[in-house]
Amino acid sequence: MPRPNGNIRVTCVGEAFCTFIEAKAPQRVKTELNVFPIILQALAGLCLFLYAVNVMGDTLKELAGDRMKQFLQRFTKNPATGILTGTVATTLLDSSSVVIIMVLTLVNANLITSLESFGVIMGANIGTTISSQLIALDIADYAPILLFVGLLVSVIGKNETRHQVGRVIFAIGLVFFGLWTMDTAVEPLKDYKPFYDWIQRLDTPIEGVLVGGLLTLLIQSSSATVGIAIVLASQGLIPTSTGIAIMLGAEIGTCSDTLLAVIGRSKDAIRAGVFHLAFNIVCVMLGVLFIHQFSAVVEWISAGAPAGRKIANAHMLFNVLGVVVFAWFIPIFHRTLTAMIR
């Protein structure tokens, strides 16, 4: 039997190895990517998310609007009850902007004082972190169940209350479905080198804060901005520190609704709106200053948790710490703003 040529064997092995490398290389690093479908799908997910949040907030406001105003008016007599009231109200209505605007309306009508409103505004900052915790839950697979149940309850509801409850359940399912849509849209970016290089340039906290603030101004929802940061972190596209910086920026961007709501209002209402902005700016400045230490604490308390959960934990820890530290200075804030805004 003739002996096979060794050169032929080497050549065949070499060609097979080269073919294998060529097949695998594009999966590791992509320098070309059709970004247009990704943008369309991400925008679709964002639109679903924003629509669901608005529907949920509006429906909850219809269910508990007048009762919520009475609740705010009754339990704001001291900073402690005000903070608790703001937390509970924002958790129920799922919107810090709605709660703060309701508070500004009460202040403008002289039903509560600007001093009493400060505690509610602080509590609203804590209440909005509940949304982050829900967003970080990995229950997107069950979104169709919530959509079906919500639609069923809404359709067969015999009265308006059941119809509204069904809409809330449907909106919750739509929130998670929108997040899942964004999550699957951005997944190809993990191996896209230009996007990876751009993310690396956001390594400084100031840049992350600017991105978070501008994004919140554009889409008018801090929850959506934090949700986007959670999605990007879950896909490994951004580190925890960058996600925290984006979250800090959202804290400032969310003040735009409050500032618009105080236009043409009384001096007390303007003081409450300015307090919201000043309180968030001071907290964010401290967060940026100690972001590395804060990130280390978040990593420690979130040991073993997914990256998205770490961002949600950072959001809650940041707002709780801000309220705990500055709640004692509410009277000083009030005296200062009274002297500034006459």
Return the sign of the alpha-carbon dihedral for residues 153, 156, 158, 163: positive
Its pTM stands at 0.74
DSSP label at residue 190 = G
**CB neighbours of residue 132 within 10 Å:** 25
Tell me: the pLDDT tens digits for 325-338?
A: 999 988 898 898 88
Q: What is the pLDDT of residues 153-196, one digit of tens each?
A: 888 867 777 888 888 888 878 877 887 887 777 777 666 666 66
pLDDT tens-digit map of 39-54: 888 888 888 877 887 7
φ/ψ of 275, rounded to 5, equals: -60, -40
Percentage of the chain modeled with pLDDT above 70: 81
Q: Which of 226, 275, 217 is nearest to 248 (CA)?
A: 226
Exposure string over 176-198, b if 16+ CB within 10 A, otherwise e: bbbbbbbbbbbebbeebeebeee
3-class state of residue 192 by DSSP: strand
pLDDT at 260 over 80: no
Digit-coded pLDDT (tens) for 122-133: 999 998 888 788
Specify whether the CB–CB gap between 143 and 176 falls below 8 A.
yes
How far apart, in whole angstroms, are the C-alpha atoms of residue 32 and residue 188?
A: 11
Give the single-character DSSP code of 1. -
Mean pLDDT score of the chain? 79
SS3 30: strand
**Closest to 52 measured CA to CA, from 135, 129, 126, 115:** 135
pLDDT at 284: 93
Q: What is the pLDDT of residues 186-237, one digit of tens each?
A: 777 666 666 666 666 666 788 888 888 888 887 767 888 888 888 888 878 7
Give the pair of three-digit tokens for residue 91.
């958790």
